C-alpha cells in the first residue's frame, strides 16, 4: 500500500523546529554525553524526523533566511541539505505554501494574504507562544486550525530569572558565606537586607515569550510588576496585573529590572549609560537576553561605583566571557552584588528535543485525526 504523501513547509531561520528531530547519529559526541548524563533513557524518546514520519511520504521544505548559522544550529544544513532553501522572499515561501498540507513557523511574520491560496493546508503550527507573526485570524476565517507550542528553553530562562530574583531578595550568597565562615553566633536569625517580594517592583523590559512566565511568577509572589515593549498588551496587563510604563520610566521605577528584548540592528546597545544611570542605587539589573543589548563597560562601572545595587547576568558582550573581564573581578568580591552564570539559562534535560518534538507530535495528531493541542 503506497504511503500518504504530505508536504510540509517550515519557515525558521534559527532551526529550533528541526534541531531536536535530527538523526541521533548527527549529534556532537560531547552533546550526546551531556544528554545521556541528564537522562540515560532519553534516546528511547528522541525520535528523528524520519522515524516520526516513517509511515508517510514527506516532502519537507525548510526555508531559512539567516545570513549565517551559529553554534549547534550550524550543522543542521548538512542534516537537511535536501530540504533547505535559503531565501528572504516571502513570495517564494507563499508559493510553496499554496499546495502544502502543513505550515510551521518560528520567529517570522507570515502574511495573511499568503494563506488565501493554501487550499490544502490542514494546520498552521507556530513554535513558541508569542505568535505575533502567525496569521491567526486569517487561518480561522479559512477554517484552518492554528496552534502554538511552548518553547521549553524559554520557560527555563524565565525560571533562571526568578532564581536570580530570589537569590537577590533573600541574599543567599551572603547567608552562605555567613554560615561558611562560622561568624554567625552574634547575628543568628538576623540577616540584614533580606527583602519581601511584595515590597519591590519588578520591571520587564520587553513582554515576549520569556517575560510572560516571569510576570506569572511575580503575580504568584504578589510582586508589583511594570513593563515596557514596543507595543502594549491590554489582555496580558489584565491577566498578570501588569502596568505599562514608558522607556525612561521603567529604569527609574524598577527595583529589579529584567531585560527580555530581542537583539537586532535597532536594539544593539539600546541600554546605555544614560539608562543605567537613571536606575535606583539599590536596584538589581538582570540580563538573560543578549549581552550586546547593553553598554557593558557602563554597567560594570555602575556596579563598581555602587551607582546601582547589583547585577545578575547570564549573557555578555563577548562570549565566552574573557577571563580578564572586570566583571569577574567584581564577581570574586565577597557579598552578593554580582552573580554571573555562563549563558546556561536556556538549559534543561533535552530542551532542544522537547521543543522540536511537540511541533511534530501535533502534526501527527492532525494526520491521525486526533485532537490537536496548543490551539490558539
Is pLDDT at 39 greater than 90 in this prediction?
Answer: no
Say if CB 110 and CB 17 are below 8 A apart.
no
- DSSP-based helix, strand, coil % in the chain, nearest 5: 40, 15, 45
Beta 310-313 vs 284-287: how paired, if at all? parallel
CATH of domain 4-149+349-367: 3.40.50.720
Q: Highest mean pLDDT range out of 64-73, 312-321, 330-339?
A: 312-321
Give me the active site residues, please: 290, 319, 343
Say if CB 226 and CB 244 are below 8 A apart.
yes
Domain 154-340 top-level CATH class? alpha beta
pTM: 0.89
DSSP summary character for residue 252: H
Separation between Cα atoms, residue 205 and residue 102, nearest integer Å? 34
Please list the residues that pair with 285 across neighbouring strands. Answer: 257, 311
Do 4-149+349-367 and 154-340 come out as alike in CATH topology?
Answer: yes
| The predicted structure's pLDDT at residue 80 | 84
41: confidence class by pLDDT, cuts 50, 70, 90: confident
Is pLDDT at 1 greater than 90 in this prediction?
Answer: no
Mean of pLDDT values over 44-66: 90
Sign of CA dihedral 314, 316, 319, 323: negative
Q: Where are the domains of the chain?
A: 4-149+349-367, 154-340
Task: State the DSSP H helix or E strand holding residue 298, giving kind and residue range, or none if neither.
Answer: helix 296-304
Convert 131-186 into a string of H (helix), E (strand) and C (coil). CCCCCHHHHHHCCCCEEEECCHHHHHHHHHHHHHHHHHHCCHHHHHHHHHHCCCHH
- What are the tens digits of pLDDT across the range 161-200? 999 999 999 999 999 988 998 988 777 888 999 999 999 9
Separation between Cα atoms, residue 350 and residue 150, nearest integer Å? 14
Q: Which range is least confidently modeled, 21-30, 265-274, 290-299, 327-336?
A: 21-30
Separation between Cα atoms, residue 332 and residue 349, nearest integer Å? 29
Is pLDDT at 68 greater than 70 in this prediction?
Answer: no
Amino acid at each position: 500500500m503506497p504511503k500518504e504523501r504530505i508536504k510540509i513547509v517550515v519557515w525558521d531561520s534559527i532551526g529550533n523546529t528541526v534541531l531536536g528531530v535530527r538523526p541521533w547519529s548527527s549529534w556532537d559526541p560531547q552533546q550526546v554525553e551531556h544528554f545521556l548524563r541528564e537522562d540515560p533513557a532519553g534516546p528511547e524518546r528522541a525520535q528523528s524526523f524520519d522515524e516520526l514520519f516513517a509511515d508517510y511520504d514527506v516532502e519537507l521544505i525548510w526555508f531559512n533566511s539567516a545570513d549565517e548559522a551559529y553554534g549547534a544550529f550550524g550543522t543542521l544544513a548538512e542534516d537537511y541539505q535536501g530540504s533547505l532553501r535559503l531565501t528572504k522572499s516571502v513570495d517564494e515561501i507563499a508559493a510553496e505554501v499554496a499546495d502544502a498540507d502543513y505550515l510551521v513557523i518560528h520567529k517570522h511574520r507570515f502574511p495573511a494574504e499568503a494563506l488565501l491560496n493554501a487550499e490544502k493546508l490542514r494546520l498552521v503550527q507556530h513554535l513558541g507562544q508569542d505568535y505575533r507573526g502567525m496569521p491567526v485570524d486569517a487561518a480561522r476565517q479559512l477554517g484552518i486550525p492554528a496552534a502554538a507550542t511552548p518553547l521549553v528553553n524559554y520557560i527555563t530562562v524565565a525560571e533562571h530569572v526568578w532564581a536570580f530574583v530570589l537569590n537577590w531578595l533573600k541574599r543567599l550568597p551572603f547567608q552562605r558565606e555567613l554560615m561558611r565562615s562560622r561568624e554567625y553566633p552574634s547575628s543568628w536569625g538576623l540577616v540584614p537586607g533580606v527583602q519581601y517580594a511584595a515590597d519591590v517592583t519588578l520591571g520587564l523590559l520587553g513582554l515576549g515569550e520569556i517575560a510572560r512566565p516571569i510576570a506569572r511568577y511575580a503575580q504568584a509572589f504578589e510582586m508589583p510588576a511594570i513593563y515596557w515593549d514596543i507595543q502594549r498588551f491590554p489582555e496580558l496587563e489584565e491577566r498578570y496585573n501588569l502596568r505599562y510604563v514608558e522607556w525612561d520610566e521603567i529604569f527609574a521605577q524598577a527595583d529589579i529590572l529584567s531585560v527580555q528584548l530581542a537583539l537586532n540592528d535597532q536594539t544593539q546597545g539600546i541600554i546605555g549609560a544614560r539608562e543605567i544611570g537613571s536606575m535606583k542605587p539599590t536596584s538589581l539589573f538582570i540580563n538573560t537576553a543578549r549581552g550586546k543589548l547593553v553598554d557593558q563597560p557602563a554597567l560594570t562601572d555602575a556596579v563598581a561605583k555602587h551607582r546601582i545595587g547589583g547585577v545578575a547576568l547570564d549573557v555578555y558582550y563577548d562570549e565566552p566571557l574573557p577571563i580578564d573581564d572586570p566583571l569577574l573581578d567584581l564577581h570574586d568580591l565577597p557579598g552578593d552584588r554580582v552573580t554571573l552564570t555562563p549563558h546556561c539559562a536556556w538549559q534543561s534535560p533535552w530542551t532542544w528535543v522537547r521543543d522540536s518534538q511537540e511541533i511534530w507530535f501535533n502534526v501527527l495528531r492532525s494526520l491521525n485525526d486526533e485532537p490537536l493541542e496548543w490551539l490558539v
